[in-house]
Structure 1
């Protein structure tokens, strides 16, 4: 039968081991969560810093482009305003050039301003007093102004204009009566954008894209002629809502598959600027730190878990060792039953439990008949063999987990039966007596006598009263001729079998 106290000890040690492992896992998870939170904050910080840097870059590029477009547009406006004056047609060519282009902006990357009449024919060229015949009636900038009077400043797609790649800026010339009189045209060469982007300290993979309001790419660095002039609004695999005005977007862009952080500059200019930086570049330092900290955390996790498992195993071993020591301390070495010390502890516990629950508790006191004479006749080894046999018969008859069979002393045994009434206890005693009798039918001739007592604890009683009653019943069995079970009652013997 298992030891309840041993089981309790094992439960405590197992609980301690489980608690150690659980606390270790909880600690590891807690530190991992804190570490992950810190790393995510660092990542967001890196992304926010990159976003602010890109916003500043986009703002600077957009301001430079807007300023030059506005400056050049002022020149176009001046030409339109002067061209509709009635006197302009009656002055010499030299004076007309002076009037039309006196305030025209001149710069290395600005093309000469031209004026085309209502039929698309070149009439005035800031670069020549006698321009060569030229007709631009089929160009987009001409047809747009002819068909849509309210367009204002129109910026064309990138095109080859007057021998150089450029964007064409144009305005409509409208007469006092609202008639279409022609178009004033100028250009900004690509060399302006190349020079502007060349002054910037860009990292490999960084991009700057200048787009028209309809999302047509005007210029991009790194320069790719196949991309220039493409309209991103026609891309079905790109969601335009990803990059609204003044917003940022992280992921694959519409031009290439490199994941970047893109920032779009907010403004009212006819062109807008989008700058991008590879996410790998933004998070390279963070990734290095994350790998380093992750490696340290992994090593700590392995150490903590390994230590916890080792300690849990050692706790388990200690529990097993203590169970074995307790078993040795509470077990009779010869018979394998509980010893007197264990019996006293068990009867104390069961007596208190029975008192609390109002349940009966029974006790069998069993003694080997004529054991001293048998021992003197056949020797101590034969006597020991008899005691072992009796112990086996008792163990075979007492099977409940709460029952406690013990060697009470010498050739005397005790069986504690919690919750058993007198009849049940008497039946157990008879089962033991008959089993011993059956076992002794061979060469070994011995019998046992049993005294049985069952009590329901009341105030003023102790378990010693139960032992005394069973012991008196045992003496009665001996006095009546041995090899019998006697049931005791308080204060007199009630049954003999």
Structure 2
């Protein structure tokens, strides 16, 4: 019997490698999910840490700016209170100057402190006992107080002083308050200017990295200070049309991640309002620096995880290959155990199993079952005349002829013993079995196994068929086929006989 025919009578081949592949795949997926979850969590932690750090920096700037502005506000309030005293008009200019500006010494990075009348003319100057003539009616702070009695303390846009002094190129910002009569009439403005180097000193004391920025803007989106400067002449410039600035002015405080419209770098923006002042502190940390440590860790962990997963899959492949080879070896051993080594057809053990299987199947279906017993005629004489090797070749040729004429995979060709063969024909009646037997007999006669002048090789065939109307068992079926074979032998050989 050929190997393909014995597979029908074996159970389906086991595939343990499928379980190994499934387990390994599940393990790899689990590892990847766990590592991904941990990396995502660490990414969030890195962002939270950066946000806390930026918030701390913003709060430090907020506190320092608020304290400085309060000092300037105290100076302005003291100047206004002193200017409204009537007794100062009778004192000397030196004493009057000392009383007006006695609080100005506490202000840091102070510039000029001026007292202006309702027309914008200078009434008093902190730097001179006798002030220089000047008019500041066109300044934004003067206009704000002149037309709004409830302006409170006003913070101006950055400007450069008009004087020809040494620091005339240095940017300044002024803090001012309105001077009003008891009836609310506008009498003038008290204004104190502060050099913008204050913000440079404040920002330089904070380390935010190379790719990050610090900035302060007012409620109009005008930039008051920045570290480092990303654009030339950016101080005093309005950024109110930039998307990030618009969001900050609307939300007043918070954190978000966005791309800078100036240098197109992605940053983590943390911003907060300075108390009740119209100022907003902005801390923009570089995303590249925020996640620099996380990126290095992610590369190392991802690489190690990748090597681990690849190694696991490689070991899985090796194990599956070994399991497959073992399975093939087991199938080969099972095939060898079910196959006759000389002829390649099924052996006696496979015949018994197949015949019993088909017998019970026929009992259930009621369809006929036929059994052929085939024996080579005068084989002992042939073997003695031509030798055992030629006899073996004759048996292999005989098995090939039988196999050639038995086409269905459900049928079985087996070596019964010696020079005798059996054929199990499922769902085949006596007439069909006889036709197959005659083809086998005729095919054997055509085998070129003998020398010229010798009679051709032949076989005798006995047939037994079970039908639903038969009252015999399996042993009787075998006996009937064997008896029909001996009847063919006794009848002159080279013939087919059907059992009654």
Corresponding position of 1:218: 224
Give the length in aligned residue pairs: 486
Summarize the Cα distance change of 1:9–1:117 in structure 2 as closer, same or farther, 3 Å threshold. farther
Q: Distance in 2 between matches of 1:441 and 1:168?
A: 124
2:211 to 205, 208, 211: 205
- TM-superposed CA distance for 1:409, in Å, is 0.9
1:131 CA displacement: 0.9
- Give a deviation string over 1:435-463, Cα, whole Å, max 9, x none: 334446985612223223343699x9864
Paired position in structure 2 for 1:402: 410
2:239–2:245: 8 Å Cα contact kept in structure 1? Answer: no
Q: 1:464 to 1:88 in 2, by over 3 A?
A: farther
Match of 2:178 among 154, 157, 172: 172
Q: For the structure 1 residues 105 and 272, does the alpha-carbon distance in structure 2 shift closer, same or farther, using more than 3 Å as the test? A: farther
CA distance in 2, matches of 1:423, 1:146: 127
Shift of 1:55: 1.0
The answer as to 2:329 corresponding to 1:321 is yes
Aligned CA distance change for structure 1 residues 213 and 354 (closer, same or farther; 3 Å): farther
Counterparts of residues 255-334 of structure 1 (less than 5 Å): 255-266=262-273, 267-334=275-342
CA distance in structure 1 between the partners assigned to 2:10 and 2:315 by the alignment? 23
Cα 1:98/1:8, change in 2 over 3 Å = farther
Verify: 1:184 aligned to 2:185, yes or no. Answer: no
Q: Which moved more, 1:306-315 or 1:169-178?
A: 169-178
Does the 8 Å contact 2:377/2:493 carry over to 1? yes
Question: Does 2:146 match 1:146?
Answer: yes
CA–CA separation in structure 2 for the residues paired with 1:27 and 1:344 = 46
CA distance in 1, matches of 2:28, 2:9: 30
In structure 1, the partner of 2:256 is 249
Query: Which of 455, 458, 466 pairs up with 2:466?
Result: 455
Contact 1:242–1:249 at 8 Å: present in 2 too? no
Aligned equivalents of 2:277 and 2:353: distance in 1?
96
Alignment gaps of 5+ in structure 2 = none
- 2:241 matched to 1:234? yes
> Which of 475, 479, 489 in structure 2 is aligned with 1:464?
475
Quote the Cα distance in structure 1 between the aligned partners of 2:19 and 2:263: 54
CA distance in 2, matches of 1:239, 1:351: 91
Q: Does 1:106 align with 2:112?
A: no
1:2 aligned residue: 3
Is the 8 Å Cα contact of residues 374 and 383 (structure 1) preserved in structure 2? yes
1:195 aligns with 2:195: no
Structure 2 Cα separation of the partners of residues 379 and 258 of structure 1 = 95
Q: 1:259 to 1:480 in 2, by over 3 A?
A: same
Counterpart-to-counterpart distance in 2, 1:7 and 1:240: 79
Matched-pair contact (CA < 8 Å) for 1:114–1:122: yes
The 1:388–1:58 alpha-carbon spacing in structure 2 relative to 1, beyond 3 Å, is same
CA–CA distance in structure 1, aligned partners of residues 432 and 148 of structure 2: 114
Distance 1:151 1:467 in 2: 121
Give the direction of change, closer, same or farther, for the CA distance of 1:10–1:470 in structure 2 (3 Å limit). closer
The change in CA–CA distance for 1:187 and 1:470 in structure 2 (over 3 A counts) is farther
- Structure 1's 212 and 487: CA in aligned 2 closer, same or farther, altered over 3 A? farther
Aligned residue number for residue 51 of structure 1 = 51
Q: Is the 8 A contact 1:232 1:254 kept in 2?
A: no
Equivalent position of 1:75 in the other structure: 75
Report the CA distance between 1:377 and its aligned residue.
4.1
Once the 2 structures are TM-superposed, how far is the Cα of residue 24 of structure 1 from its aligned partner? 1.7
Given the superposition, is the C-alpha separation of residues 95 and 325 from structure 1 closer, same or farther in structure 2, using an over 3 Å criterion? Answer: same
The DSSP-based 3-state class of the residue aligned with 2:397 is helix
Q: Which residue does 1:40 correspond to in 2?
A: 40
Farther-moved stretch of structure 1 (213-222 vs 254-263): 254-263
TM value normalised by structure 1: 0.85
Q: Is the 8 A contact 2:345 2:413 kept in 1?
A: yes
Following TM superposition, by how much is the alpha carbon of 1:97 offset from its aligned partner in structure 2, in angstroms? 4.4
Q: Secondary structure at the match of 1:159?
A: coil
1:160/1:360 CA distance change after superposition, 3 Å:
farther
Give how far 1:272 is off. 1.6
Q: CA deviation at 1:132?
A: 0.6
Return the alpha-carbon distance in structure 2 between the equivalents of residues 22 and 274 of structure 1: 53
Contact persistence 1:366–1:412 (CA under 8 A) = yes
CA contact (8 A) 1:166 1:189 kept: yes
CA, structure 1 residues 384+231, in 2 after alignment: closer, same or farther (shift >3 Å)?
same
Change (3 A) 1:330 1:180: same
For residues 8 and 186 of structure 1, what CA distance do their matches in structure 2 show?
106
SS in 2 for 1:26: helix
Report the alpha carbon displacement of residue 168 of structure 1 after superposing the two structures with TM.
1.6
Q: Find the residue that maps to 2:112 and give its secondary structure.
A: coil
Calculate the aligned-residue CA RMSD, in Å: 3.4
- Provide structure 1 residue ranges, at least 5 long, that are not aligned to the other structure: none
Match of 1:367 in 2: 375
| Counterpart Cα distance in 1 of 2:90 and 2:488 | 155
